[in-house]
Amino acid sequence: MNRLKDASSPYLLQHRDNPVHWWEWSPEAMAEARRQGKPILISIGYAACHWCHVMAHESFEDADVAAVMNELFVNIKVDREERPDVDHVYMSALHLLGEQGGWPLTMFLTPEGEPFWGGTYFPKEPRFGRPGFVAVLREISRLYHAEPERVLKNRDAIKQHLAKVETSDGGVLGLSDLDQMGLRLTELIDTEHGGLQGAPKFPNPPILEFLLRYARRTRDGAARHRFLLTLERMALGGVHDHLGGGFARYSVDERWLVPHFEKMLYDNAQLLELYALGFAETGRPLFRQAAEGIVAWLKREMTTAEGAFASSLDADSEGKEGRFYVWSLTEIRESLSEEDAAFFAKVYDITEAGNFEGHNIPNRLISGEAPPAVEERLSSLRGKLLERRAARVRPGLDDKVLADWNGLMIGALVRAAPLLGRPDWIALAGRAYRFVSGSMSRDGHLGHSWRGGALIFPGFALDHAAMMRAALALYEATSEASYLQDALGWRDVLLREFMVGETGCLAMTAKGADPLVVRPQPTHDDAVPNANGVFIEALVRLAQITEAGDDIRRAAEMVSRLVGVARSAPLGHTSILNALDLHLRGLSILVTGNDAGTLHETALQVPYPDRSVRWLREGATLDDNHPAKALAASGAQAQALVCAGQRCSLPVTDAEGLKARVREMLAAEPGNAG
């Protein structure tokens, strides 16, 4: 029987009518495999995944294929977004087999959950140089029963490698080391299209932030240009939804023209921060429009009734990838006047022949930006086409609420708001925050995924780290003490339940969570920044906000441990390196006194990579260790003090003075550490 009908995951529910006897991931499924003496087939994917749908239609909906699966295996279906820990373990196993990763992930396990072979998408019939799925199933089953020694040899080799964890080499990094890495990264950026060279092209937000931090720190014009070029080409490309806002997962080509059409919350959260920084750097309307488009899409299509944010939009609709987003020239002409249609088609590269498989992906890679009056006209035309597009069959919405992805978006909204003059975004973030912190927590611990009242609990390290960082962003923006208390609580959960003393790194899973074949402790960034990188940034920011001795010591110790891990593969650990940059050169801005709102707003307009902000409200006190304790108590007048390490400036009392003081202190040469 298929046991997915009561699942909470939209992805699992897509498979509830398959003739496959699917189980959810559970100890009961393992016990069933042991009882029957069968290996396990685990299939991992997610709701927005195009090739997951293809394999489902070809094989999992086919009665003959399902009969072979049911006869030979105990079959488990997993939503990777609900169980990133399970996905990480088995994706790591696939890499150890020398295979390139991707979804759907198809792995074969012993009844104890130990991987021994696998792949990604298998076609029903042999093609693409891949064997047919039924032939694979029969051969794996034969090997498992007839040649157990081969299975055990593979199992043992994979388990041995999975058990290895990245450890610190004990080395240190300073600003000069970060500068050398920044210079090397600059050379890797595509000078024509932006982004890392080649195709497919992913945005890689932590890497782009590292590039910007390097450019701001060293005033390297080439690095700054390549950062801005990347934002420009993405915003002009087809990977950007020009009508509805937001960005697709990645581009399959090197020009950012043809997207893989799924739209993920976590990508857009990270890109919102980057476009806000790009606007702060240049004032370019293109970057403002990209950021505001992300939030318009978020509010229109991704906000749940509870005020939190849904996970993703499918790549497919009506069984075809991208159908919802592409246009014919005829449709443009039917929707607009003859003159407007010709104008829009010229700007957005819409032709009779099409720019993608006979269809058109709206883009401005050829036409580029336009004067304000032209942009105003285009805005009206985009609105008309968006209205027409809304009548199409929509891609599937995965409306589960993930604590970690919501934490990333909450933090992004709060950080972007002052840079773009959008205080309403802080209210939007606050509503989502209240839902996650309230409805998705138990006894101070977060769950991971919520849908329809069902909560997957306990949550993972990134859930707590991303929400800790979001809480600190909200505290900086509002000075409400409850946000700081939440951040401290989640910090303590991470240190107590997730920190592994032997390695000094966070494990993905809490100590009391259901055991896997190994307890994963990844440190490298993937599509989302790694929990260790997010946590270390939150610890550094917390220390700069409070200047409390314990917070400073804890942040410095964590920086030292994780920098030693990041040294071996810097590009894979840029979230850690970005936190190191904040630790070495970030300013702490303290605002005190009556009627200090204007100074507080000015402080928040300093881009977040350069600063942490605290508004000391009446009745609040500073730690005895705080270097500005005496100066802050010197009067009731509104004032701001800018601190770097244990040095603080004299108070400034007006916005222009604060801006000048920040520029002056950022230009000073900080010492190396780490």
**Residue range 216-267, pLDDT digits in tens:** 999 999 999 999 999 999 999 999 999 999 999 999 999 999 999 999 999 9
**Alpha carbon of 503 to those of 144, 161, 165, 372, 674: distances in Å?**
35, 16, 8, 55, 17
Please give, one letter per residue, the 3-state secondary structure of 506-542: ECCCCCCCCCCCCCCCCCCCCCCCCHHHHHHHHHHHH
Nearest-angstrom CA–CA distance, 509 and 85:
7
Provide the H-helix boundaries in 97-174: 133-146, 148-162
Residues 558 and 533: beta-carbon distance below 8 Å = no
pLDDT of residue 624: 86
3-state helix, strand, coil in the chain (%, to 5): 50, 15, 35
pLDDT 10s digits, 177-198:
999 999 999 999 999 999 999 9
pLDDT (mean) for 58-78: 98
* Cis peptide bond N-terminal to 458, omega within 30: yes
- Helices 265-282 & 403-420, crossing angle to 10 degrees? 20
pLDDT of residue 669: 60
Q: Which amino acid is at 393?
A: V
> Is there a shared CATH topology between the 10-162 domain and the 400-582 domain?
no
pLDDT 10s digits, 118-139:
999 999 998 877 789 999 999 9
Residue 674 has pLDDT above 50, yes or no: no
Q: What are phi and psi of 643, to 5 degrees?
A: -115, 145
Q: Among 532, 558, 572, which residue's Cα sits nearest to residue 674?
A: 558
CB-CB neighbours of 384 under 10 Å: 15
pLDDT 10s digits, 499-554:
999 899 999 999 988 889 999 999 999 999 999 999 999 999 999 999 999 999 99
Q: Which two tokens stand for residue 85?
A: 């820990």
Q: Half-sphere exposure (CA, 13 Å, Cβ side) for 161?
A: 17
pLDDT of residue 131: 86
Residues 118 and 94: beta-carbon distance below 8 Å = yes
CB-CB neighbours of 233 under 10 Å: 22
Nearest-angstrom CA–CA distance, 606 and 609:
9
Nearest-angstrom CA–CA distance, 116 and 490:
37
pLDDT (mean) for 458-479: 98
Nearest-angstrom CA–CA distance, 382 and 296:
13
The model's confidence at residue 672, banded by pLDDT at 50, 70 and 90, is very low
pLDDT 10s digits, 630-648:
887 766 789 999 999 888 9
Q: Hey, is 450 helix, strand or coil?
A: strand
pLDDT (mean) for 475-495: 97
Which is it for strands 74-79 and 40-45: parallel, antiparallel or unpaired? parallel
Q: Hey, is 601 helix, strand or coil?
A: helix
User: Is 618 or 304 the better-scoring residue by pLDDT?
Assistant: 304
**Alpha carbon of 286 to those of 92, 209, 300, 589, 668: distances in Å?**
39, 18, 21, 30, 32
Q: Which fold has domain 400-582?
A: Glycosyltransferase (1.50.10)
User: Is 166 or 578 the better-scoring residue by pLDDT?
Assistant: 578
pLDDT of residue 423: 97
Strand partners, 401: 450
pLDDT of residue 163: 87
Q: Where are the domains of the chain?
A: 10-162, 194-397, 400-582, 586-667
Residue 389 has pLDDT above 90, yes or no: yes
Residue 600 has pLDDT above 90, yes or no: yes
Q: Which two tokens stand for residue 514?
A: 């259901």
Q: What is the pTM of this model?
A: 0.95
pLDDT (mean) for 20-32: 97
pLDDT of residue 34: 97
Q: Which two tokens stand for residue 259?
A: 């997207």
The rounded radius of gyration (Å) of the Cα atoms in the chain is: 26
Superfamily of domain 10-162: Glutaredoxin (3.40.30.10)
How does the average pLDDT of the chain come out, rounded? 95
pLDDT 10s digits, 523-532:
999 999 999 9
Residue 619 has pLDDT above 80, yes or no: no
pLDDT of residue 541: 98
Burial class (CB in 10 A: 0-12, 13-18, 19+), 79: buried
Q: Which two tokens stand for residue 145?
A: 């029963």
Burial class (CB in 10 A: 0-12, 13-18, 19+), 129: exposed
Tokens 């699942």 locate to 7
The model's confidence at residue 618, banded by pLDDT at 50, 70 and 90, is confident
